[in-house]
Amino acid sequence: MATLPDVTRQHTVLIIGAGTAGAAVASRLRRARPDLDIAIVDPSPFHYYQPAWTLVGGGQYSHEKTERRMASILPADVVHIQDRVAALMPDRNSLVLEDGGHLNYEFLVVAAGIQLNWNAIEGLPDALGKHGVSSNYRYDLAPYTWECVQNFTGGVALFTQPSGQIKCAGAPQKALYLTADALRKRTIRTDLRFYTAGAAMFGVPFYSKALEAVMAAYGAQACLGRELVAVDGPKKIAVFETLVDGLKHSEEISFDFLHVVPPQSAPDFIRDSTLADKAGWLDVDKFTLRHVRHANVFGIGDCTSTPNSKTAAAVKSQLPILVGNLLEALAGQAPNARYDGYAACPLTTSAGRVLLAEFSYSGVITPSLPLDPRVPRRLYWWLKKSFLPFFYWNILLKGRKLASFHRKRAFPDALPGIQP
């Protein structure tokens, strides 16, 4: 990785964000075009493998293994500008950095991820990391989740999911299942409750029904339409809002353990720019990943408007589309590769089994293997815990290619036997 020369303020391709999507784009582009001038802006000195944080919170993975120095994962000759983007100026092909400097580009790839809005829940920032309040959505907190589970001696364990889009929409309930499994093994009596602002366990009904069966197997209760709005850590009280006959109703629930997933949004610098759609996401064509108004801007990963599930698995499928279309654009051609909306969510139903939910745009069921994907399987646990981390660091982030096997397959309506 090259350091930034003092006055480099113009790049052919400028990438915002060196997370899953940005780092993979940098590597794939570098392999395709060794001569191309590429720079990547990201303030973080570290890169994280976030999908394993669920396993960390379930005592199944070491959190240190999910962190690597940025310098070790970016291609050697891609310029890393260690700063934060403060504002976008697409009409001038330019952007403003937090340090006040400007960067110009010919082509821009926005891969800034999703913003975690911890402050949107009153009292939450002060409560986190103590009083039995944790979240697998932070590197430093995921080990505390496991500490809480180990110290749990019985009582009420609450798991929350906010309204709106979040990354890995299955992760809030994965935390519940791994906790339930660990407590079941210790025969600890627990009142397990999943408080979600949503109207179902999962956005795709085919999988949602199977997940209801997993909840039932653990004797856990799903409380739908409940939004966490405040937390009192020392008193161990969580406040939820729900709509009753069109009116907001508030209820206080005492807890012994609380796992919180915060509300999320597009990053502020995108929301505040003309590149955003009405909801604040980077406004790209859902098939080509090119911006709908600026032909030299592309977007990938959690920050875009594409209506897929926000996951690293989606990034894996978007990557060849984005890079292919960007290379076409660099050559003055129209983009013609199309993303089908594929995403995957490995739901860790216990320490040992995973229900691998794979689907594409409009909830079309597109598993990679011809096996009923509603069945939690040991094979997918191995995939989640061993193969996918290897794949992430050595294939995806290195810009190497791996074939896709997912395709539309039909399954009977009746639920198969489900053993979490």
The contact set with ligand FAD (CB under 6 A) reads 16-22, 41-44, 50-51, 53-54, 84-85, 111-113, 136-137, 167-168, 171, 267, 269, 301-303, 310-313, 315, 346
The answer to whether residue 168 is catalytic is yes
The owner of tokens 């937390």 is 231
Query: Shortest approach of ligand FAD to residue 413 CB, angstroms?
Result: 27
Taking the CA atoms of 31, 34, 38 and 44 in sequence, report the sign of the dihedral they define.
Answer: positive
CB closer to ligand FAD, 236 vs 284 = 284
The residues that bridge with 116 in the sheet, in sequence order, are 264
Query: Shortest approach of ligand FAD to residue 166 CB, angstroms?
Result: 9
CB closer to ligand FAD, 48 vs 411 = 48
Query: Shortest approach of ligand FAD to residue 249 CB, angstroms?
Result: 30
Query: Shortest approach of ligand FAD to residue 375 CB, angstroms?
Result: 18
Long-range contacts of 399-406 (CB under 8 A, 24+ apart): 399/24, 399/26, 399/27, 399/28, 399/29, 399/30, 399/31, 399/75, 400/31, 401/320, 402/316, 404/317, 404/342, 404/368, 405/368, 405/369, 406/342, 406/344, 406/358, 406/360, 406/366, 406/367, 406/368
The owner of tokens 């409560």 is 127
The answer to whether residue 303 is catalytic is no
Beta strands in 111-189 (DSSP E): 115-116, 133-134, 155-161
Query: Shortest approach of ligand FAD to residue 185 CB, angstroms?
Result: 22
Nearest alpha-carbon partner for 16 in 99, 68, 80, 100: 80
Annotated catalytic sites, by residue? 168, 345
